[in-house]
Amino acid sequence: MLIFSLVLVTAGITVLALTLGGGTEQPIAQRIDSDRQEFNKLFSTYDTLSKEYYKDVDENKLINGAINGMIDSLEDPYSDYMNEEEAKSFHENISSSFEGIGAEIQEQEGRIVIVSPIKGSPAEKAGLQPNDIILSVNGKSLQGMSSTEAVLLIRGKKGSEVELEIQRGENTEPLMVKLTRDTIPLETVYAEMLKDGIAKIQITSFSENTAQELRSAINDMAGKGMKGIIIDVRGNPGGLLDQAEEIASMFVPKGEVIFQVEDRSGEKAVFKSKNDRELDVPVVVLVDKGSASASEILAAAVKESAGIQLVGENTFGKGTVQSAKDFDDKSNFKFTTAKWLTPDGNWIHKTGIKPDVQVVLPQYANLAFISPDKELKLSDSSAEVKTAEQMLEALGFAPGQVDGFFDQQTKKAVQAFQTSKKLEATGVVKGKTTLMLMEGLRNKILSNDTQLKKAQELLNKEITK
């Protein structure tokens, strides 16, 4: 007989404890403490389904479903119940490497949306972008799924393939994208020395060791004659709050506000910089629509409390803080506990942070991807053909009129591209031709990074003052 008891924790967390035992017990609905009558309907439903449903029910599944439904009723994409397998995946995301495609996702109005692909990941290499909608995984629809449920379908062993159905924009045709899963590494900070003594340091997420990685990178760049720093948090989906606070303290003068946290009663806690040494070189921070959560905390802190300029595009707009609570069975749930506010008291939720200097990437940086399995050939007409024409044009191979119709001029452009890459000049876009076309475009975007160039320009002015 199942004995079901309700345990209330001081933090306001409701924990459902299960014990199995023998004997005759009263129905749960008859064993509720008189001061908890609001649970009568829940327990009565459980008793009824357990005894009268037309076939045996999985008792744990009923409990998990009840908890999940309670959290779903909040209509908050950042609050979610996770079973044991989902909870394990959640913890891996923060504290260790994992195997998958390397993209941060979230649920928005019943759809699974990419927040940002991770640098160097299969998702980034395939051209996935912030706000792309994942419609299905290996043919299974994600409609109505939570982000944690979707993650379990998307992740898998290194070397295995997964096919995603992607929609970019409301009125575009979905595209099928096949990716090969890989190991997504722990490393979150990448530094390189550009010309004129300017160091570019990219932070791809805020994990357990990110602050220490950043300190090491700054010290390394300083040893190479660093005169200015570009901190790049474009495409950074966020992560741990304490890491954002520690990193912001490296750039914000001691005692200045980094961010504020406002609870449900309107009480505010103010977090200030503990910086014991200020960097003596100018800094610029790069942001875009994939900069979310902890990235936005850093961006707002340096902008409002350190006078550091932000360059790029409007950020994602996540202004809430989550906590996670573990159950004894290793399942857990995360839920929103507060708002976070910028140093000046602004709530950027759903609006994002506007950069000081707005710079967009070239139009071809927003092109959709083409599945290498799809064949595009003479006389074809489709959205994919138009994308291929746009890619060819961006790479300097004249496809004629860019109209989505694969004509003779398009074929000649494809053959010229294939010849330049030492491929068989078939004039057909498929397989290696598609992959090399997209790789060429990616390299073109990297070499013509208008946002990075503007940041370099601003720093050079500061350095030469």
Residues assigned a catalytic role: 293, 304, 318
Nearest to 179 by CA among 113, 90, 86, 102: 102
157: burial class by Cβ within 10 Å (0-12, 13-18, 19+)?
exposed
Contacts of 228 (CB under 8 A, 6+ apart): 197, 198, 199, 281, 282, 283, 284, 459, 460, 462, 463
Residues 175 and 387: their CA atoms lie apart, in Å, by 12
**Type and span of the H or E element at 4:** strand 2-8
Cβ–Cβ < 8 Å for 278, 305: no
**DSSP H or E segment with residue 246:** helix 241-248
Print burial letters for 168-199: b (CB count within 10 Å at least 16), e (below 16): beeeeeebbbebebbebeeebbebeeeeebbb
Q: Quick check: 277 and 215 in contact, CB under 8 A?
A: no
Task: Name the residue among 330, 273, 306, 289 with its Cα closest to residue 89.
Answer: 330
| Token pair in block for residue 240 | 């741990």
Sequence-ordered strand ranges (E) for 265-414: 268-272, 283-287, 309-312, 320-326, 332-341, 357-358
Give dist(CA 342, CA 363) in Å, integer. Answer: 31
What 3-state class would DSSP assign to 386? helix
What is d(CA 286, CA 204) in angstroms, rounded to the nearest whole number? 12
Please state, in angstroms and rounded to a whole number, the distance separating the CA atoms of residues 368 and 404. 13
Enter the DSSP assignment of 308: P
Tokens linked to 46:
């459980």
In Å, how far from its chain's centre is CA 23? 50
Query: For residues 136 and 182, what is the distance between their CA atoms, to the nearest angstrom?
Result: 20
Cβ atoms 196, 460 nearer than 8 A = yes
What's the CA gap between 20 and 428, in Å, rounded?
64
